[in-house]
Amino acid sequence: MSSEFNVNAKARADVGKGASRRLRRLEGQVPGIVYGGDKEPQMISLAHKDLVWFLGEEAFFTSVLNLNIDGAAESVVLKDLHRHPAKAQILHADFMRVSADTKLTLNVPLHFLNEESCVGVKMQGGKITHAATELEVACLPKDLPEFIEVDMKDVNAGQTLHISDLTLPAGVESTALALGADHDQAIASVLAPRGGSDDDSAAEEGESEES
């Protein structure tokens, strides 16, 4: 279950590039928009320092947020951020309204567990590589996870974990797998050490003796 975040915002009527620049430069505000549901999109602004603080929490990206716009509450998720390419500055934030009985789609981070005790690494000399760091899921807001665990403990050298190997929380489904088995993308692998595994070496020695 996701954490609880209370975010304060203000409605804004002054729109356009010039107005957005003034908000950022003179008022320390980040322009944003709230959209979705059965309401019209609404332009808002948030304090830059507050938003930066929230963004330091990983769960902020995968939580249903309590967005208070001039005292009026909205349940939303963060859908997009526009950052300055060279400065530590947030240029714009997009929020999407959510409904308790409507599924939402969001990217959720993957947390890789037991990498140091992984059989393929500790016993077989392999090396772990990550093919993905997040997974797109669909679920009701109440089931939205902060992260998804990927247990690497029993993965052998030369083995690859796919989406279908993950244990997803109840009520959560992978949007990729919903498209079919051919979308079962790789999540992580344990690369075998150079020269192959011990079994490969033994097989090669056997072939040499026979020849």
Predicted confidence (pLDDT) per residue in 48-74, tens digit: 999 999 999 999 999 999 999 999 999
Tell me the CATH number at 173: 2.170.120.20
Domain of 16, in residue numbers: 6-97
pLDDT on residue 22? 77
Tell me the CATH number at 43: 2.40.240.10
Q: What is the pLDDT of residues 19-47, one digit of tens each?
A: 777 777 777 889 999 999 889 999 999 99
Q: Over 50: is that where the pLDDT of 147 sits?
A: yes
Q: Over 60: is that where the pLDDT of 206 sits?
A: no
pLDDT on residue 2? 53
Total domain count for the chain? 2
Mean pLDDT of 135-158: 96
Q: Over 50: is that where the pLDDT of 205 sits?
A: no
Co-location of 91 and 120 in the same domain:
no
Task: Give DSSP secondary structure letters for 137-174.
Answer: EEE-GGG--S-EEEE-TTPPTT-EEEGGGS-PPTT-EE
Q: What is the pLDDT of residues 99-117, one digit of tens each?
A: 999 999 999 999 999 999 9
Co-location of 71 and 16 in the same domain:
yes
Domain boundary, last residue among 49, 80, 97: 97
Co-location of 90 and 115 in the same domain:
no
Domain-embedded: residue 158:
yes
pTM comes to 0.82
Mean pLDDT of 108-127: 96
Co-location of 87 and 112 in the same domain:
no
Co-location of 69 and 152 in the same domain:
no
| Locus of tokens 């760091």 | 133
Mean pLDDT of the chain: 89
Domain boundary, last residue among 97, 117, 152: 97
Cβ atoms < 10 Å from Cβ of 109? 16
Domain boundary, last residue among 97, 129, 158: 97
Write out the H or E segment, with its range, that includes residue 182.
none
